[in-house]
């Protein structure tokens, strides 16, 4: 078991390191394609509100709380109870995230103006539009995080290690037009 924990730790640490390197490459691609200016500022600012939603609703804390409860239920009451718990948490949190996404989508213009008062009106409009594009992804991040938590509770760590890599590669390929 000690080797399994060490192997999982090495896998996740390597994934985080590679994800950070890919993030740096992603930022370099953005800088090369868009350059500096209003568009780049709007692009970067567009992630602020969705990130706040993610941090408030999940931010990794959900997995930390979910995994021991899932494992305890599985051990004490069986697989069916653990799966019901997974379904309940997944359904509830995904619904809450979807509702929060709709509210933030509707309020994006006002929130961007509040958060970035020094942006010119055109930059605020662009940021609000981009924010509305980015917001729905949080629903999938939330649901994926819960499912990855269940997989980690089953000692399956590959999806957790691959998730940030796929995310960074997908953004870069979209930016490059693939």
- Using CA atoms, how far apart are residues 85 and 74, in angstroms rounded to an integer? 10
Each of the 178 residues of the chain gets a pLDDT tens digit; together they read: 667 777 777 887 888 888 888 888 887 887 787 777 777 888 888 888 888 877 776 656 676 788 889 999 999 999 999 999 999 999 998 999 999 999 999 999 999 999 999 999 999 999 999 999 989 988 988 888 888 888 888 888 887 788 888 877 887 787 777 6
Q: Which two tokens stand for residue 72?
A: 């305890």
CA angle 39–42–48, rounded 5-degree value:
155
- Using CA atoms, how far apart are residues 125 and 173, in angstroms rounded to an integer? 25
Give helix 158-176 / helix 137-153 axis angle, nearest 10°. 150
Q: Is 142 exposed, middle or buried (0-12, 13-18, 19+ CB in 10 A)?
A: buried
Number of C-beta neighbours around residue 124 at 10 A: 22
What is the structure's pLDDT at 1? 67
Per the CB < 8 A criterion, the answer to whether 133 and 141 are in contact is no
Per the CB < 8 A criterion, the answer to whether 145 and 66 are in contact is no
3-state secondary structure of 116: coil
CA-closest candidate to residue 115, choices 158, 164, 69, 51: 51
Instruction: Give the total residue count for the chain.
Output: 178
């Amino acid at each position: 078991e000690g080797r399994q924990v060490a192997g999982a730790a090495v896998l996740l640490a390597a994934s985080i390191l590679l994800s950070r390197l890919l993030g740096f490459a992603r930022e370099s691609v953005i800088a090369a394609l868009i350059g500096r200016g209003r568009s780049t500022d709007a692009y970067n600012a567009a992630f602020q509100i969705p990130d706040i939603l993610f941090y408030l609703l999940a931010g990794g804390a959900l997995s930390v709380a979910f995994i021991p409860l899932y494992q305890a239920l599985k051990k004490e009451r069986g697989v069916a109870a653990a799966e019901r718990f997974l379904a309940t948490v997944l359904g509830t949190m995904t619904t809450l995230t979807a509702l929060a996404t709709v509210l933030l989508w509707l309020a994006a213009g006002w929130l961007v103006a509040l958060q970035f008062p020094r942006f010119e009106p055109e930059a605020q409009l662009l940021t609000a539009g981009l924010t509305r594009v980015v917001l729905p992804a949080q629903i999938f991040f939330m649901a994926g995080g819960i499912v990855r938590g269940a997989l980690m509770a089953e000692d399956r760590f590959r999806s957790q290690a691959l998730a940030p890599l796929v995310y960074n590669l997908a953004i870069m390929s979209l930016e490059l037009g693939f």
